[in-house]
Structure 1
Amino acid sequence: MDAIESYLSANRSRHLDELVELLSIPSVSALSEHKEDVRRAATWIQQKLTDAGFEHATLMETGGHPVVYADWLHAEDAPTVLVYGHYDVQPVDPVSLWKTPPFTPTVQGNQIYARGASDDKGPTLMHIHALGALLAVSGKLPVNIKFCIEGEEEIGSAHLHAFMEKEREHFAADLILISDTTMISPTQPAVVYGLRGLTACQIDVKTAASDLHSGLYGGAVPNAIHALVEVINSLHNEDGSVAVAGFYDNVAPLAQEEKEQYAKLGHDDEAYRASLGLTQLHGEPGYTTLERLWARPTLEVNGIYGGFQGEGTKTVIPCEAHAKITCRLVPNQDPQEILDLIENHLATHTPPGAKVTLVRQDGGKPYLAPYDHPAIQLASEAYAHAYGTPAVFTRMGGSIPVVETFSNVLHIPVVMMGFSLGDENFHAPNEHFSLDNFDKGLRTLCYYYTHLSQAMGQA
């Protein structure tokens, strides 16, 4: 490890320069105008994998944005690790709230600001750098490696499931390693063993054939926005719980051991509230904040629009209105079944004079892993090597749909070792990534890869 530490120190400037290069590419997968930028990011990663010494680096077509594949398969009697990451990023709107241009990476103090810095270009590139360091120092790797770096994670990995079904033999491995999760704090790393799932939909409300003059028709016709507000309000009870019939029926309860582990983390509700600029927290009663965040389902309104949006006044009664909804799901909840329940709810809560339609969108199932697996336990030890403290084992409130895909298609354990922090503004303006975690994360990963064969009894 001493030689590896020296190599990482000597190449730190180059590693940071390469991160800046990758972050400068506006690979926004959701926007068609950035289609070529997304492919440019894929090509950039393909070349870096080749430069680092990996073989068969190629772009594999999916029907959407390509998957970057590469491998190194010369470690006899050693496990094969499939490294997953994504090179696509979220849109940057509203640009006016960014303190620095989102695709002009800027280092301030020990943070680098840019879209994709924390989610997920920084952590993905760390695997290339860590494994590249092992190859450079030893001329070989202690394990076999395959890369699957996709370009559609931020749009629900729309093509990846079918792609993995078709290419399952090509990506066969003993475990999957992902760095797209978060740590508890800068000094407390975490190994995530559970993720919430996701389902999404849009609610469309229609009333008249067109917008109507509010003076000529006001008081005699239904208003689409009023109807939408009534529908949205019906989705929750006053205490914050979801009012959709059957929503909680299949939810797997938290084990007592998990409750005790979460309690030991010492979460400070007051500090959490203050950090978010809130006057109070709000959520499903009967659960702690961490339990709500990691192990309970949600239904959230993400956006609402309709009627006149411009400056000043336009005296119309809108004929249509729309809301975007997402639900975070927990074990035993199925995305399509939840949408069925919401659709049934809308049918029984449609206001007079309105037509309410549910438009189904992408989703992914929740995931829960056995955290006593030796590959997952080693992750905690690897963090301790770099951070001086072992990782805790947690669930995470976010969703990575591809995790459930990998688990079901390849039938191998998924190890989630994240290096991002919850306050790094991923999906929001001023996204940033800690360069301290960039440095320590490289050392964590080098330790993990070096000791994995022994941990799995294949040394």
Structure 2
Amino acid sequence: MSHLEKLDAYFAKNRERHLEELFEFLRIPSISSLSEHKEDIKTAANWLADRLRKLNIENVSVDETAGHPVVYGEWLHAEGKPTILLYGHYDVQPVDPLHLWDSEPFNPEIRDNKLYARGASDDKGQVFMHLKMIEALFETEGTLPVNVKFIYEGEEEIGSPNLPEYVEKNKEKLSANLILISDTGLYAPGKPAVCYGLRGLTGIQIDIRGAKGDLHSGLYGGGVQNAIHALADILASFRDEHGTIQVEGFYDKVRPLTEEERKAYSELNFDEEALKEEVGVNELFGEQGYSYLERTWARPTLEVNGVFGGFSGEGIKTVLPAEAGAKITCRLVPDQDPNEIVALLKAHIEKHKPKGVNVTISEFDKGAPYLTPFDHPLIQAAGRSYERIYNVPTAFTRGGGSIPIVASFDEILSLPVVLMGFGLNSENFHAPNEHFHLENFDKGLRVLGDYLHEVADLEF
């Protein structure tokens, strides 16, 4: 029997047991952002460590950080073979609003071959697939085709504030040939995708202060600056009518798309009409000269995420607001630096600041963009493994969102990162009724097992 035939038989025989074990993991309410769940986070970390030990993974530890713990383990007995560092996270998002769930978020249920629970798709279900893939290889072959290390954190949903320091302190222990992450999704149902790049992120808050207090518009209107008008002028200066960003120097370091990438995106035949219907708009919007996929995967953005100030209650209150503010985020692409972009934003705001107000700028968390060339042998090998199981060509995509720790792995460990996920955009991760299509759970286990064999055959 081939290794795939062995894996298929093993997963089919043990499917119900595997799902029961996954239910155990999903029942732990490991919400990282809420302090009342600190003990649940520890419980989830210890659950993972216990499962690693049962797989005969060595040097398993639950390592404390300034926040939630990191789970580590390793198996290094594939002499002369590459080492894969497997990453994932065991923390989950809060479940509010609870009344919109059709079942209890921490009481897993299967309906229509979909597993409903918080963390089912993001990311406990996919982390669990790593464990069961390793189990299956041990049970069917008695060994692993490659060396493996595991690093699972409990703070991804709050921005991984302590993991970069942990990685920096443990660079030698975490050394490997590549990092494999299952925390992304398929391109579409039945259409697998290897995500080879992610946009970075940076954010600021603009606070405008005019007069020492709100003023009567009849007495002072036309003679004193209105903080909301001042804010509106600044916000309007950021982009032109097509969405092209007007901040001087903003595009200077943007790495252009290759012709091969543009061709690959075009061949995906993305349905923009279906998207318009899905999100409820009559026209799409964005930078001219680029398709929707190019704009959302490989071009930077500047978006106003929130505006506040003045009176918004019922009726009218005739005042000149003294204060106003806005929250801004930018999605960044290679080779933009988050700190440089913040400096450019500050210079732009200072240049366009209206008279009669003071402006304060606060900075928020930053994450660098990440890119592994899509023709990299490890990326192409992942595509081959997907194709063997799904029997359709693999899409090579970038992600419009950000996973800040991916860029940190790239910067600190200097390793290629392979993002092999099995979720779908429709699975409500971060929202009520999060679920995971078990068809992709089943296929994903086989894809991951095959990928370890693919990597074992590559030259490093």
Shift of residue 194, structure 1, vs aligned partner: 1.6
Is 1:160 the counterpart of 2:163? The answer is yes
Structure 1 residue 263 displacement after superposition: 0.8
The offset of 1:170, in angstroms, is 0.8
| Structure 1: 5+ residue stretches without partners | none
2:146 aligned with 1:143, yes or no? yes
Q: Specify which of 113, 119, 122 is matched with residue 122 of structure 2.
A: 119
Name the structure 2 match of 1:439: 442
**2:70 is matched with which residue?**
67
Structure 2, gaps ≥5 residues long: none
Contact 1:200 1:361 in 2 (8 A): yes
Q: Residue 234 of structure 2 corresponds to which residue in structure 1? A: 231
The Cα shift of 1:162 comes to: 2.1
Partner of 2:248: 245
Quote the offset at 1:32 in angstroms.
3.4
Q: Give CA-to-partner distance per residue, 1:324-376, whole Å, 9 cap, x none.
A: 22211111111011111111122123334332222111112112213333322
Cα separation, 2, equivalents of 1:41 and 1:215: 61
CA distance in 2, matches of 1:80, 1:64: 28
In structure 1, what is the equivalent of residue 267 of structure 2?
264
Query: Secondary structure at 1:420's aligned position in 2?
Result: coil
Give, in angstroms, the shift of residue 40 of structure 1.
Answer: 2.7
How far did 1:69 drift?
0.6
- Tell me the secondary structure at the aligned position of residue 11 of structure 1: helix
The match for 1:185 is: 188
More divergent stretch after superposition (196-205 vs 219-228): 219-228
| Match in the other structure for 2:344 | 341
Q: After superposition, where does 1:410-449 map in structure 2 within 5 Å?
A: 410-449=413-452
Stretch deviating more after TM superposition (103-112 or 387-396): 103-112
**Structure 1 position 216, deviation (Å):** 8.0
Task: Count the aligned residue pairs.
Answer: 457
Q: Give the SS at the match of 2:241.
A: coil
Question: Hey, what's the Cα distance between the residues in 2 that align with 1:125 and 1:369?
Answer: 25
Question: Secondary structure at 2:77's aligned position in 1?
Answer: coil
| Root mean square deviation, CA, Å | 2.6
* Cα displacement string for residues 231-271 of structure 1 (whole angstroms, at most 9, x for unaligned residues): 33332222122222221121111111111111111111101
The corresponding residue for 2:394 is 391
Secondary structure at the residue paired with 2:172?
coil
Q: How does 1:42-441 map to 2 (within 5 A)?
A: 42-210=45-213, 222-306=225-309, 318-441=321-444
Distance in 2 (CA, whole Å) between partners of 1:97 and 1:232 is 35
Question: Residues 226, 291 of structure 1: CA spacing in aligned structure 2 closer, same or farther, 3 A cutoff?
Answer: same
**1:48–1:290 CA distance, 2 compared to 1 (3 A):** same
- Partner of 2:23, secondary structure, is helix
Measured at CA, do residues 164 and 101 of structure 1 come closer, stay the same or move farther in structure 2, by a change above 3 Å? same
Q: Secondary structure at the match of 1:362?
A: coil
Quote the sequence identity (%). Answer: 56
**2:416, 2:370 → 1: CA distance?**
11
| Aligned-residue offset at 1:96 | 5.0
Letter in 2 for 1:144: N
Counterpart residue type for residue 11 of structure 1 = N
Indicate how the Cα distance of structure 1 residues 140 and 200 shifts in structure 2: closer, same or farther if over 3 A, else same: same
Q: Which moved more, 1:433-442 or 1:344-353?
A: 344-353
**Structure 1 CA distance for aligned equivalents of residues 318 and 53 of structure 2:** 61
Deviation of the 1:28 alpha carbon: 2.9
2:43 maps to which residue? 40
Deviation at 1:83? 0.3
Q: Distance in 2 between matches of 1:457 and 1:378?
A: 12
Give the whole-Å Cα distance in 2 for the aligned partners of 1:7 and 1:373.
31
Q: Which amino acid aligns with 2:388?
A: H
Distance 1:148 1:241 in 2: 40
Distance 1:79 1:351, change over 3 A: same
- Residue-by-residue CA offset, 1:175-234 (whole Å, 9 max, x unaligned): 111112221111211112222111122222333445567788777655544443443333
Q: Is the 8 A contact 1:118 1:420 kept in 2?
A: yes
* Counterpart-to-counterpart distance in 2, 1:393 and 1:69: 30
Amino acid at match of 2:34: L
Say which SS state the counterpart of residue 250 (structure 1) adopts: coil
CA–CA separation in structure 2 for the residues paired with 1:189 and 1:160: 29
- Whether contact under 8 Å (1:93, 1:429) holds in the other structure is yes
8 Å Cα contact 1:42/1:66 also seen in 2 = yes
Instruction: State yes or no: 1:23 paired with 2:26.
Output: yes
Structure 1 window deviating more from structure 2 (421-430 vs 409-418): it is 421-430
Q: Deviations over 1:270-289 (max 9, x none)?
A: 01211222222111111001
Match of 2:206, SS state, is strand
2:208 is paired with a residue whose SS is: strand
CA–CA distance in structure 1, aligned partners of residues 377 and 395 of structure 2: 15
What is the CA distance between 1:30 and its match in structure 2? 3.1
Task: Give the drift of 1:317.
Answer: 5.8
In 1, the alpha carbon distance for the partners of 2:97 and 2:354 equals 33
Q: Is the 8 A contact 1:53 1:132 kept in 2?
A: no
Following the alignment from structure 2 to structure 1, what is the Cα–Cα distance between the partners of residues 211 and 38? 38
Q: CA deviation at 1:67?
A: 1.3
Distance 1:63 1:348 in 2: 40
Q: Deviations over 1:291-340 (max 9, x none)?
A: 11111001122333445677888887654343322211111111011111
